[in-house]
Amino acid sequence: MRLVRTEWIKFRTVRGWTAGLVVAGLMVVLVALLAGVSSDQRGAPPVPVGPGGEPVTDSFSFVRRSLTGDGSISVSVAGLTTGVPWAKAGLIVKQSTRPGSPYAAIMVTGSHGVRMQHNYVNDTAGPVPAGPVRRLRLDRSGDTVTGYASADGTHWTEVGAVELELGPAAQGGLFVASPPVVEGLGTIGTVSTATFTDLRTSGSWSGDAWAGEQVGARSATFAGYPQDTSASFEETGGGFTVTGAGDIAPAVRETLPTGGTVKDLLTGTFAALIAVSVVAALSVTTEYRTSLMHVTLAAAPRRGRVLLAKAVVLGGVTFATGLVGAVAAVPLGERLARSNGVYLFPVTDSTGLRVALGTAVLLAAASVLALSAGVIFRRSAVAVTTVLVALVLPYLLVANPFMPVGAANWLTRVTPAAAFAVQQTLVEYPQVSSIYKPYNGYWPLGPWAGLAVLVAYAVAGLGVAAVVLTRRDA
């Protein structure tokens, strides 16, 4: 404790070092404020929000009737003309045609078999049938909706049952959706056509004619139809041929590119990282340059403990500075962004806390790494450059949209830049085909696993620095 107290007194008496850390914290806040006012999206189409509060894409071709109570609907999907793996054609019961409203659907897909999905984020694979699936069925009993699949229309296999708040006037019927597919560095829109035959209903269905429409046509998460295509609904002797585009799924970065994230608001971490690295390197190289290190080691001959005390003080002060900066930056940036009409992907309180704490640990670990580099190289410029090349350069490379996914994921697994995964808040969904790479906010490692990579580098660097300090003259 005596060494820690001594190093703390030494650190705080150098105004340039304390000022540098204050500047680092202010940079985090300032960049968040700039991010909040940098985009004006007032008047943009609304973002559909699902029952769980998450942004969703809810755009599809719908042939519907009202279902005022219990009832059943079944149909044969005679064909799904598409090369889109997650194209969907089947039956759906939905609270209303409002994008984001609760629903349950049973469907055949382009390449993923029979699925039952509900409320956008929930996806259940159907059992593998002995023969090709010929019919689908949805039953509503109160608030319970059950989906079935059958190869012959006689023997039914339950795929799933869900509880939904459908209300007294749910809408149900046939649907077709055709989500974008990955092509090159982005995604392109698609369109699919399905043929439905032998449509049967029973129960509390209205006697109105079947009505066709494109749900979510003006939604922020619907990119529209490819050129020279459009939604169509054609009744053909007891069945329908339906053409549709869009998807019913959680929104990801590609489907909502204008959406902001907490990580976007913390872009100032890079500027803070530079300031922290400079302060950390100077805190030890200055002692070498002024021969103060001789005095320090003469007073405390156990050199490893001296280095550890320096790391504790520097890491602790940097952690506190980073935490204050992150805690202040996010709500201020969010308020400004929302006032300008920018939609921000929501995060839970626990996720927000993880991002703030993780950002503080990231800066603290970087400061310890820079301190270690300062001991090893004894030159602040070399030490700072080493840390920035190890931390910032890989991130700048993966921030390039032209970086291949494999290379980007490798860099953010094995370099200290993996630590930026602690700021990620976006979720990857297996039922949504998209580009999941760091450039879009999807990191190959989990938040704490990514941060652990940087911590491991910092610990290893501190160990090497301790050996160098012990064996080399001050």
Q: Summarize pLDDT for 204-250 with one digit per residue, the tens.
A: 999 889 999 999 999 999 988 988 888 899 988 778 999 999 999 99
pLDDT at site 14: 81
Confidence class for position 348, pLDDT limits 50, 70, 90? very high
Q: Is the pLDDT of residue 20 over 70?
A: yes
User: Which top CATH class is 56-250?
Assistant: mainly beta
Confidence class for position 423, pLDDT limits 50, 70, 90? very high
Return mean pLDDT, the chain: 90
> What are the sequence ranges of the domains in the chain?
2-41+258-471, 56-250
Mean pLDDT within 105-119: 94
Q: What is the 3-state secondary structure (H, E, C) of the chain?
A: CHHHHHHHHHHHHCHHHHHHHHHHHHHHHHHHHHHHHCCCCCCCCCCCECCCCCEEEECEEEEEEEEEEEEEEEEEEEEEECCCCCCEEEEEEECCCCCCCCEEEEEEECCCCEEEEECCCEEEECCCCCCCCCEEEEEEECCEEEEEEECCCCCEEEEEEEECCCCCCEEEEEEEEECCEEECCEEECCCEEEEEEEEEEEEEECCCCCEEEEECCCCCCCCCCCCCCCCEEEECCCCEEEEECECEEECCCCCCCCCECHHHHCCCHHHHHHHHHHHHHHHHHHHHHCCHHHHHHHHCCCHHHHHHHHHHHHHHHHHHHHHHHHHHHHHHHHHHHHHCCCCECCCCHHHHHHHHHHHHHHHHHHHHHHHHHHHHHCCHHHHHHHHHHHHHHHHHHHCCCCCCHHHHHHHHHHCHHHHHHHHCCCCCCCCCCCCCCHHHCCCCCCHHHHHHHHHHHHHHHHHHHHHHHHHCCC
Q: Is the pLDDT of residue 473 over 90?
A: no
Confidence class for position 290, pLDDT limits 50, 70, 90? low
pLDDT at site 446: 95
Confidence class for position 295, pLDDT limits 50, 70, 90? low
Q: Is the pLDDT of residue 130 over 70?
A: no
Confidence class for position 40, pLDDT limits 50, 70, 90? confident
State pLDDT tens for residues 55-95.
999 999 999 999 999 999 999 998 888 789 999 999 999 99
pLDDT at site 99: 96
pLDDT at site 309: 85
Give the predicted TM-score (pTM) of the model: 0.89
